Chains A and B, each alone.
Chain A
Amino acid sequence: MSGRTRETIAFYLFMLPWIVGILALYVVPLGASVVLSFTNWDLFSSPQWVGLRNYSSLLAGEGSNFWLALRNTAYYAAILVPVNLALSVAFALLLNQPIVLRRWFRTAFYLPSTIPIVAVVMLWSWLLAPSGIVNSLLSVVGVDGPAWLVDPDRVKDGLIIMGVWQLGGGVVLFLAALQGIPRYLYEATMLDGAGAWRRFRSITVPMLSPIILFNLINGIIGALQVFTQVYVVTQGHNAGALMMVPFLYENAFEFNKMGYASAIAVLLFLMIMALTVVVLRWSRRWVYYEGEVS
């Protein structure tokens, strides 16, 4: 047996678990989701082919909450993602200053992002309870606090507060990126008489832009797929916080509508892909890659 053949065999032996995983956990289920989305199936009787009916009834909003779930999810993502991005950059800039106890400050910002979501929700349900500490503090300044996690008009805001509290992962990434910006870039623009704002705009933002893009895409994908927070807060029974994956969950695992749920999954997948492509295309206008030949 030649060395080449032996190396090929070794490659495929080392890859074997992952190749099985790719097929069993990704390729086959993804294909099955698409096929199931054209059927009506309650898990007990055999699936019935219904063509595009699941999709048409979803998009027509007939007796379903598809558009409500989409609207709620869009609201959640549209506020949480930009707010987290802006605050992460701002706090990373501050934490990058020569301050005393810098490591302690950084730890304080990172700590909440390491806490499991179920514990985060337990904590904030307690803080945001109608007579909890947040509303007590608000009443001190004369504001009548809402029933944050109960009121359908407010529950999304409560979920957004929890999301903002966990922004530490982004702060750490931006801090690492800030420390990679060569100092001479700032020195060169200083010689040209650039002020602080000008330096931020012309050096810091372009040099951070690949990380901004990374956080933006991850943030959008994560927000569109939010489940645990929503479910633990509402058990899926608050129309104000019905979002895409909880909507999928209730159809699949409470109503046993497997075909219908698969159609939701396929639509959500397509939306995520489309949005990612749009953001990536848009990013060509503002992301700067060092060493890129233009």
Chain B
Amino acid sequence: MASPSKALPAARPPDMPGPAGGTSRRRLGPRLSQRIPVYPVLLFGTALMVLPLLWMVSTSLASTKYVTTFPPKLFPDTFEFANYARIFSDTDLGRYLFNSVVIVIPSMIGQVVASSFAGYALARLRAPGRRIWFVVTLATLMIPYEATIVPTFVTFQYLGWINTFWPLIVPQLFGSGYSIFLMRQFIMQIPTEYDEAARLDGLGYFGIWRRIIVPLSVPALATVAIFTFTFQWGNFLGPLIYINDPDKYPLALGLYAMTQTSNVGQTPDWNLIMAGGMLLTIPMVMVYFFGQRFLYEGGNALGQIRV
């Protein structure tokens, strides 16, 4: 690895242009693009990224007879849009989808509220022990999930929560180290003058949280909600451990179970499985698509880490 040159200035001199934001097109001598064929390499990479996705879409629209033909073709001769109706009528994916929604929504609300509470306390309220709790919050990030999995399972089993959604939802109601860290960083950027003004108007701590902090930290709240959705929507290990009753499977586990129930030696209905894969994928892609501006603002708070 290259060690940085000691001559690099530590701070930007005042008369220099700001960080290149992609708008400045000043030439810098021989560019990378003049040395490597940028477009062929990028197109090749893009093809590797996108073609499998196109293949998922096209298989999800293929007829059952078609998917067993060999060698496979990239596009089917006819598009069977009825496959997307069949996954709701011929399989249990509709029920699994409903279960996923029932698990995901309270998880998102719980994470957002609990993280916002703790982030506000750590960013704004002076109390003995605040620094220690902040360090402990960061320390929880270093504990891998499998280090606590056995006792947690034993506890939930003792509570009689096997085959319920509680073991999946309840842990989300306390917040998490990452969400709280993100909230704290974001709230620290909000000028304290707003709090002062609100206090002069007679608001208490809860009122300040409710009327000042929450409205001004929407990007961070949205980021926490998106991350929680991402985790919970794709969560596989949790449902695998805690849910044995197929009526209660969430989508990710149910889709997996669908591939397992086809008889040995028999090819699963790949077109329906790919349609199920699309059902699992589309909400995620939509969440990222509509949430990306929040992710950008929310994530920027992490770029200015001041511990």
Inter-subunit contact B148/A25 (CB<8 Å):
yes
Across the interface, A109 reaches (CB within 8 A) one of B30, B49, B70, B144, namely B49
Is B180's beta carbon under 8 Å from chain A? Answer: yes
Contacts of A293 in B (CB 8 A): 10
Q: A26-B148, A205-B1 are in contact. Are A258 and B236 (CB under 8 A)?
A: no
Inter-subunit contact B240/A231 (CB<8 Å):
yes
Q: A118-B234, A184-B16, A185-B8 are in contact. Are A165 and B49 (CB under 8 A)?
A: yes
Across the interface, A182 reaches (CB within 8 A) one of B19, B133, B173, B303, namely B19
Is A143's beta carbon under 8 Å from chain B? Answer: no
Q: In the complex, how many angstroms separate the beta carbon of A3 from the nearest chain B beta carbon?
A: 10
Contacts of B5 in A (CB 8 A): 202, 206
Contacts of A185 in B (CB 8 A): 8
Inter-subunit contact B121/A14 (CB<8 Å):
yes
Contacts of B13 in A (CB 8 A): 184
Is B87's beta carbon under 8 Å from chain A? Answer: no
Q: In A22-48, which residues have CB < 8 Å from any B CB?
A: 22, 24-26, 28-30, 32-33, 36, 43
Contacts of A273 in B (CB 8 A): 142
Inter-subunit contact A122/B255 (CB<8 Å):
yes
Is A75's beta carbon under 8 Å from chain B? Answer: no
How far apart are the CA atoms of A4 and B130 in the complex, in Å? 13
Inter-subunit contact A202/B17 (CB<8 Å):
no
Among B21, B36, B233, B234, residue most surrounded by chain A Cβ atoms (within 10 Å): B234
Interface size range on B against A = 35 or more
Residue of A with least CB distance to B179:
A18
Interface contact tally, CB-CB below 8 A: 305
Inter-subunit contact A268/B146 (CB<8 Å):
yes
Q: In the complex, how many angstroms separate the beta carbon of A69 from the nearest chain B beta carbon?
A: 12
Is A285's beta carbon under 8 Å from chain B? Answer: yes
Q: A25-B171, A117-B234, A181-B19 are in contact. Are A205 and B55 (CB under 8 A)?
A: no
How far apart are the CA atoms of A204 and B7 in the complex, in Å? 14
Inter-subunit contact B70/A18 (CB<8 Å):
no
Across the interface, A123 reaches (CB within 8 A) one of B56, B128, B284, namely B56
Contacts of B66 in A (CB 8 A): none
Is A281's beta carbon under 8 Å from chain B? Answer: no
Is A21's beta carbon under 8 Å from chain B? Answer: yes
Inter-subunit contact B114/A17 (CB<8 Å):
yes
Inter-subunit contact A165/B48 (CB<8 Å):
yes
Stretch in A58-66, A76-84, A124-132, A152-160 touching the partner: A124-132
Residue of A with least CB distance to B110:
A17
Contacts of B3 in A (CB 8 A): 206, 285-286, 288
Contacts of B18 in A (CB 8 A): 182
Inter-subunit contact A108/B50 (CB<8 Å):
yes
Inter-subunit contact B143/A196 (CB<8 Å):
no
Contacts of A86 in B (CB 8 A): none
Is B264's beta carbon under 8 Å from chain A? Answer: no
Q: In the complex, how many angstroms separate the beta carbon of B213 from the nearest chain A beta carbon?
A: 10
Is B290's beta carbon under 8 Å from chain A? Answer: no
Inter-subunit contact B146/A22 (CB<8 Å):
no
Inter-subunit contact A15/B118 (CB<8 Å):
yes
Is B97's beta carbon under 8 Å from chain A? Answer: no
Inter-subunit contact A111/B285 (CB<8 Å):
yes
Contacts of B288 in A (CB 8 A): 110, 114
Inter-subunit contact B274/A108 (CB<8 Å):
no
Inter-subunit contact A14/B174 (CB<8 Å):
no
Contacts of B276 in A (CB 8 A): 122
Other CB < 8 Å A-B pairs besides A119-B277, A202-B2, 10 of them? A10-B204, A17-B174, A91-B42, A97-B31, A99-B42, A114-B284, A114-B285, A116-B280, A131-B71, A196-B30
What are 14 A-B contacts defined by CB distance under 8 Å? A8-B126, A11-B121, A18-B175, A20-B174, A97-B32, A97-B33, A114-B285, A119-B255, A122-B274, A185-B8, A269-B144, A273-B142, A285-B3, A292-B10
The 3 closest A-B pairs by CB, nearest first: A21-B174, A116-B234, A206-B4
Point out residues on A near B: beta carbons under 8 Å. Answer: 4, 6-8, 10-12, 14-22, 24-26, 28-30, 32-33, 36, 43, 91, 93-99, 105, 108-112, 114-119, 122-127, 131-133, 136, 139, 165, 168, 176, 179-187, 190, 195-196, 201-203, 205-206, 209, 221, 225, 227-228, 231-232, 235, 245, 248-249, 252-253, 258, 261-262, 265-266, 268-269, 272-273, 276, 285-286, 288, 290-293
Point out residues on B near A: beta carbons under 8 Å. Answer: 1-5, 8, 10-13, 16-22, 24-26, 28-33, 35-36, 38-39, 41-42, 45-46, 48-50, 52-53, 55-56, 59, 70-72, 74, 114-115, 117-118, 120-122, 125-128, 130, 133, 136-137, 140, 142-155, 157, 171, 173-176, 180, 204-206, 209, 230, 233-234, 236-237, 240-241, 252-253, 255-256, 259-260, 270, 273-274, 276-278, 280-281, 284-285, 288, 299, 303
